[in-house]
Amino acid sequence: MGDGRRGSIWSIPEGQGRGSRPAYSRAQITGAAIRIADADGLDAASMRRIAADLGTGAMSLYRYVPSRDDLIELMIDHVLLEADVPERPTGDWRADLTLIAENTRRMWLRHPWLAGLQRPRATFGPNRMRLLEFAFGALDVGFPIDEIFILLDMLNGYVERVVRGEIEWAREMRQSGMTPQRWMTESAPYVRELLGTGRYPMFERIVMDARLPHMSAEEQFRYGLDRVLDCIAAARP
């Protein structure tokens, strides 16, 4: 349900409309939605459920948040505050991008409903804009603007791919008890069969020599992140 408006929720001043002084704020509604989504998933954060959490009727909330899309936009921007970046880049682009990547990973793990979105949509809320300015500013060290765009997309793609995998593993463990360690143990007999054929030399190197599968999730993330940052360093003019 909504008022037929297209565009961004950020273009509508909060508290707009007729009637008495607003009883709620977008921040209250957004906070309730995030609490519900964190506990029970994004689909559970309906206007009816949010209204019950706040002790009001669902219809009254549309005065503050006209549509479901607006609600999700507010939720995404609110959790982006957890990226926790300084007001401006430090001058050390690698440290700045590491901060963004590590804080973004932690944000996704705290709010796994983000992985339920096909891809978190580009929004223009205040926290998104602050993060954008910081990230692009960190790479404003001689790169053309289009190059910065591609390099940050590469970084964000790495973070998103890894954290989606972590969230999926966590879901699998909750539902079936299958941990990475248990999976490796149960797969071991067939892996030995494959190695015994001598037909898969690269797979043998993975099994015998690779350190990555034995690292913690955080160590794996940081190892891959360092490789991505190395690529960015190599692309510098």
Whether the domain at 9-79 and the domain at 81-235 fall into the same CATH topology: no
CA distance 50 to 43: 12
| pLDDT score of 8 | 81
Helix (H, G, I), strand (E, B) or coil at 18: coil
Q: Note whether 94 and 135 are within 8 A (CB).
A: no
**DSSP character for 120?**
P
| pLDDT score of 4 | 46
Q: What is the pLDDT of residues 113-149, one digit of tens each?
A: 999 887 655 678 999 999 999 999 999 999 999 999 9
Element (H, E) at 184: helix 180-197
Per domain, the residue ranges of the chain are: 9-79, 81-235
If phi over 0 gives left and psi between -120 and 50 gives alpha, with beta otherwise, what is residue 155? alpha
Superfamily, domain 9-79:
Homeodomain-like (1.10.10.60)
**pTM score, two decimals?**
0.86
| pLDDT score of 13 | 79
- Tell me the two tokens of residue 155: 């970084």
Q: What is the pLDDT of residues 22-42, one digit of tens each?
A: 688 999 999 999 999 999 999
Q: Which residues contact 170 (CB under 8 A, 6 or more apart)?
A: 112
Task: Tell me the CATH number for domain 81-235.
Answer: 1.10.357.10
CA-nearest of 149, 173, 165, 158 to 235 is 149
